[in-house]
């Protein structure tokens, strides 16, 4: 997230991707700053067959819903139909090359289980993530 706020990441020009991580990973706002810090990436066959280098997020953009608020948002992500996938967290990263490197920066993560203690899963079904609610991925509120 700090890389985004410092201007090191351009969500309109850089390759921004999402990866799924299982419940055995312990997320950290301070320690999970690069791809190298993320452990227990989803290893389900339906996930690894298509998303070894992440799901490219298209349409990500900042909006300004009010004069002092800025929201990072994007359309829903589709990890497949008729897939068996189990994951707890979704991480958003800037992928610098065609494949991940340990220094690729993390923009942020979200808990797919709203604070629950288990993975969410699909069994031969859809696995979609939709963060396009009123708050997007995150909202910054500026106060004078």
Tens digit of each residue's pLDDT (9 = 90 or more) over 89-132? 999 999 999 999 999 999 888 899 876 788 999 999 999 998 76
> Residue 142's closest CA among 33, 60, 62, 57?
62
**Does the pTM exceed 0.85?**
yes
> Residue 18's closest CA among 107, 94, 76, 91?
91
Q: How far apart (Å, rounded) are the C-alpha atoms in residues 7 and 20?
A: 25
Give the 3-state secondary structure of residue 132. coil
Tens digit of each residue's pLDDT (9 = 90 or more) over 28-83? 888 999 999 999 999 999 999 999 999 999 988 888 777 778 888 888 899 999 99
Residue 106 near residue 34 (C-beta atoms within 8 A): yes
**Six token digits for residue 45:** 């066959």
């Amino acid at each position: 997230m700090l890389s985004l706020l410092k201007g090191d990441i351009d969500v309109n020009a850089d390759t921004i991707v999402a990866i799924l991580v299982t419940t055995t990973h312990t997320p950290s706002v301070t320690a999970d700053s690069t791809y190298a810090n993320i452990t227990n990436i989803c290893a389900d066959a339906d996930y690894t067959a298509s998303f070894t280098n992440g799901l490219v997020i298209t349409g990500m953009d900042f909006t300004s819903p009010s004069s002092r608020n800025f929201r990072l948002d994007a359309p829903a992500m589709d990890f497949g139909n008729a897939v068996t996938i189990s994951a707890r967290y979704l991480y958003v990263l800037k992928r610098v090359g065609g494949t991940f490197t340990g220094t690729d920066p993390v923009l942020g993560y979200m808990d797919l289980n709203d604070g629950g203690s288990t993975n969410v899963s699909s069994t031969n079904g859809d696995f979609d993530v939709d963060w396009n609610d009123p708050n997007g991925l995150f909202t910054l509120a500026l106060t004078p």
